[in-house]
Amino acid sequence: MDALEILTDLDNVFPFFQPIFSADEHRVIGYEILGRYRSENGIVSLGPFFLDESIPEEYRLEVDHTVLKKALEKSLSLEEDILLFINKDADLLMFDNAESFLAILHEFKEKGIKLDRIVLESTERVYNGDVEQLDHLLNYIRTYGIKIAIDNSGNERSQLDRIGQISPNILKVDLNELRSQATAHVLHDILFSLSLLARKIGATLLFKNIEMVYQLQFAWRNGGRYYQGYYLHRPAEDFVDRDVQKEKLKDKCYQFISYEKKKLEALYLVTEEFNEMLHQYLQVKNRKLLEYEELIKVLSLYLDDVAFRLYICDENGFQKSANIFKQESGWQIQHEYLHKNWSWRPYFLENIMKMRKEKKGILSDLYTDMETGETIRTFSYPLNSNDYLFVDITYNYLYERDGLL
């Protein structure tokens, strides 16, 4: 891309708009503004131009402002509740402490575009400056009512601690990597953590690069309120009908709801089966009198096709039995686990209180076992008012049952 050609031909620099859809209304709630250049060979993205550090900042800033002004001028025709997402390279933003950027926004404020409709996303892929100063500038920009978005698409500066410090209004999550099944499981866990963080800091989740239906389903399942990507609509020079995907999104939403209901029903049925199975098995008198180590030995044989680890803890998380662990050679007692404490685990005490109150066992969510590295669930069951049995269920068992993975 010839930078000089672009700089001397600003008439052919113009904005593209990619619509962003909402989960609650199934309609367009905003547009991301993207830079384009109409060359002799067709329309090309200005992304590489803005990221090219060999081009002086003032030249890149001039082109950036050209795109922004044309975009805002065109946006005057939009309804007043539609958000405008603006990408600003961090270097360009810091070049003049955002003075020129804010001046343009105030100019168009006078024309009718309220500043609370603006969402600023500072792009930091090549930023080598002082992150703390950048954060101060972003917080200053927020005082005008402008919303801040952080793109957590894997670059090293978009870390959880920084997200928590800035507390952005919108957290953008890139689903591009979700296309690979090899990395899908790990990414599921990472993005689930992001969704929890967003909830804690009151940020709205925007999932971008949605190119397939299962990515949309993942975004919906993990608390995404806003969606963006080629599956929904490609960037274009003109705005679209706000309801262009309303029926499609509504239909997919019903499908996702139906699937989740079936999955929850499957989890409920399996939980009931485990409760009934263990209740009946443990009612036999001589089993009630067994020492805990003997009890887990007996149970391991009974649950041989289901479990790979069993142990017993008291209500405070201290193990009252060793572990019994299934290896290739058979079940092995692991005495080193006796008296270990697990109260530090997430939801441990919460689940103990739930079992005590409801007097029945519960099935955990999916998680990765630290020792085996496999995806598992744990069934916890109250033996009495003080002690609880924990059954770690094998991946194979989960795989063979619908709705457990």
Give start and end residues of each alpha helix (H) in 96-159. 99-109, 131-142
Beta strands in 211-285 (DSSP E): 224-227
| 189-223 pLDDT per residue, tens | 777 778 888 888 899 999 999 999 999 999 999 88
For the domain made up of 3-229, the CATH class stated in words is: alpha beta
User: What are the domain boundaries of the chain?
Assistant: 3-229, 260-400
Q: Are 57 and 95 in contact (CB under 8 A)?
A: yes
* Fold of domain 260-400: Beta-Lactamase (3.30.450)
| 245-291 pLDDT per residue, tens | 999 999 999 999 999 999 999 999 999 999 999 999 998 877 877 89
Rounded to the nearest 10 degrees, the angle between the axes of helix 99-109 and helix 57-75 is: 20
Q: What is the pTM of this model?
A: 0.88
Concatenate the DSSP letters of all residues of 58-97 into one string: HHHHHHHHHHHHHHHHHHTTS-TT-EEEEEEEHHHHHHTT
| Per-residue confidence band for 323, with pLDDT thresholds at 50, 70 and 90 | very high
Fill in the DSSP letter of residue 394. P
Mean model confidence pLDDT for the chain: 91
